Amino acid sequence: MSQHSRQETEERIKALRESLNQLENQLAHHQDNDESQHDLIEHLDEFIDAVDHKVLSLRTFWNSLKSEWQKGRN
């Protein structure tokens, strides 16, 4: 086993704690994200018909394009 001074050991412990905290934060973030995804999937009934919204989507885009164009001309 390698010999470390007390100060070195304390610094290593501090660094390891910081790494551990970082990893725990990352894990918490992943868990939050997973929960949000599960919540959203529960509403899949509302998204599964998205394919039927093509005409509506095109109309929305066309109106947006038109207003942007008119704004640009003014």
Partner 1 sequence: MSSQAPSIAQEPLSQEPTQPASRQWLSWLTVVVLVYLLLAAVGAIGGGFKAAAGANAKELFAFATNPFVGLMIGLVATALIQSSSTVTSIIVGLVAGGLPVQIAIPLIMGANIGTSLTSTIVALGHVRNGEEFRRAFSAATVHDAFNILAVIILLPIELLFHPLQRSSEVVAALLVSDASLDMGSVNLMKTVLAPAIDLLKLCVSWLPGSVWQGIALILIGVGMILFVVSAIGRVLRKVMVGRAKDIMHASVGRGPISGMASGTVITVLVQSSSTTTSLIVPLAGTGVFSMRQVYPFTLGSNIGTCVTALLAATAISGDNAVLALQIALVHLFFNLLGIAVIYGIPFLRQIPPRLAEGLATLAQRNKLYVAGYIGGTFFVLPLALIGIGQI
- Smallest distance from the beta carbon of 62 to partner 1, in angstroms? 9
**For partner 1, the closer CB: 19 or 37:** 37
By CB under 8 A, residue 70 contacts partner 1: no
Looking at the Cβ atoms of 1 and 50, the one nearer to partner 1 is: 50
In DSSP notation, 6-66 reads HHHHHHHHHHHHHHHHHHHHHHHHHHHHHHHHHHHHTTHHHHTTGGGGHHHHHHHHHHHHH
Residues 16 and 8: beta-carbon distance below 8 Å: no
Which among 5-13, 16-24, 42-50 is the span making contact with partner 1, rule CB under 8 A? 42-50
Q: Which one of 6-14, 16-24, 37-45 is the stretch in contact with partner 1 (CB under 8 A)?
A: 37-45
